[in-house]
Amino acid sequence: MNKKIIIAIDGYSSSGKSTIAKATAKHLGFKYIDSGAMYRVVTLFAIRNKLIDKTNSKINEEELKKQIDSVHINFKINQLKDRQEIYLNNENVEDEIREMEVSNLVSFISKLKFVREKMVRIQQELGKEKGIVMDGRDIGTVVFPNAELKIFMNAKAEVRAERRYKELKEKGVVVSYEEILENVKSRDHHDETRDESPLRKAHDAIELDNSNMSETEQLNWILGLIEKLK
C-alpha cells in the first residue's frame, strides 16, 4: 500500500497532463480528478441555459452566479470503457464537454472568480483524504499548495495541437489541425493572463517538457520522483 499523498499536475492545455495523471493514479491505486473537466461542465451548463452569447462569448455573469448552486458535479467510473466520467446533475456529459464549442468558450468561464471559488472548494473536498492525483492549472498553487509532489508540464504548442488533433480524430470529431492549434494558443494566452489564479509554475514544482517523451518514459520519470519522497 502506497503512502497516501497529493500529487498536483499543472501545465498548459493538451500538454499530456491527464495521460500521465491517470497512469500515475492507476499505478498507485489513487483517485484521479480532471479539474479542467469541471470548468468544462460549468461551460456546458452556461451554454445550455443560454448564459453565453456565442457570437461574442459574452457571459450573463449575474444570472450564472444565481444559478451556479444548481450545478452539481460528480465523477463515476465507467467499468466498460475503463475510464472516469463526469456528470452534470446526474447526466453523463463526458463526451459533450470535449467538443470544440465548449473548448472555445471555457476560458471565459474559468476566469470568473465565483466559478473558481466553487470549483476549488469541491476539489479540496475531493482531496481531503489524500491518495489523489489532480491535474489542472492552479492545483499546486491554489488548490493544494501543500501537495507532496507538484509537477509542471509543458510541450511545444505544435506538439500539443498535434496530439489533440489525433485524439479528436480518433473519436470521430471533425476538426482541422489549424483550428486546434489556434485554440491551444488562445487558451495558453487566456490561462496565463487572467486575473484570477493565472497559470503559473508553483515555486516548488518540478518541470517536465515531454515534447520528446513516450508515455512510459513519463510514468517512469514520475514514479522515480515518488520513490525519492519516501
Residues near ligand DC (CB under 6 A) are 13, 35-36, 39-40, 106-107, 110, 136-139, 187, 191
* C-beta closer to ligand DC: residue 36 or 127: 36
Task: Name the minimum Å distance from CB 153 to ligand DC.
Answer: 11
**Shortest distance, position 59 Cβ to ligand DC, whole Å:** 14
Residue among 28 and 109 whose Cβ is closer to ligand DC: 109
Least distance to ligand DC from the beta carbon of 230, Å? Answer: 28
Of 127 and 136, the one with the shorter C-beta distance to ligand DC is 136
Q: How far is the CB of 91 from ligand DC (least distance, A)?
A: 19
Q: Which DSSP string do the residues of the chain spell out, in sequence order? A: -----EEEEEESTTSSHHHHHHHHHHHHT-EEEEHHHHHHHHHHHHHHTT-EETTTTEE-HHHHHHHGGG--EEEEEETTTTEEEEEETTEE-TTGGGSHHHHHHHHHHHT-HHHHHHHHHHHHHHTTT--EEEEESSIIIII-TT-SEEEEEE--HHHHHHHHHHHHHHTT----HHHHHHHHHHHHHHHHH-SSS-----TTPEEEE-TT--HHHHHHHHHHHHHHH-
Nearer to ligand DC, 3 or 54 (CB): 54
**Which CB sits closer to ligand DC, 30 or 123?**
123
User: Least distance (Å) from ligand DC to the CB of residue 130?
Assistant: 18
